[in-house]
Amino acid sequence: MEVWIVEVWIMEVWIMEVWMVEVWIMEVWMVEVWIMEVWIVEVWIMEVWIIEVWIMEVWMVEVWIMEVWMVEVWIMEVWIVEVWIVEVWIMEVMCGCVAAGGGRRGAGGGGRPSESRSALT
């Protein structure tokens, strides 16, 4: 019975050694994250979060895959803000034209020429 307990304990230690290797790999990854990801605002939040990394190992792999996507999202957020500013500018210009009685279809405003002809006949 004692031998069985010792064998089980040795197996658990072996499992923990493998887990320690995974933690070491993840620590290297965290150093790369700290160096590469400027969008992380507070590193100490990530340090608290790494305590729970061993529970979320599969999720960590997905996060590692999504790192480049996060950088692209950050770039896209800036681009979306620029597009929004351009859209507001276009709307201001168009509203100015409509308010002045103009528009793209001449002084009359809207409608197709064929519709106005059929209304006259």
Q: What is the pLDDT of residue 54?
A: 44
The number of C-alpha atoms within 13 Å of 102 and in the hemisphere containing its C-beta is: 7
Asked whether the predicted pLDDT for residue 87 surpasses 50, the reply is yes
Q: In the chain, where are the structural domains located?
A: 2-102
Question: Is 21 within 8 Å of 12 (Cβ atoms)?
Answer: no
Express each pLDDT in 38-72 by its tens digit: 444 444 444 554 555 444 454 445 555 555 555 55
Question: Is 103 within 8 Å of 110 (Cβ atoms)?
Answer: yes
Nearest CA-CA partner of 39 in 61, 85, 80, 72 = 72
The number of C-alpha atoms within 13 Å of 6 and in the hemisphere containing its C-beta is: 3
pTM of the model: 0.17
Helices then strands (H, E): number in the chain? Answer: 5, 0
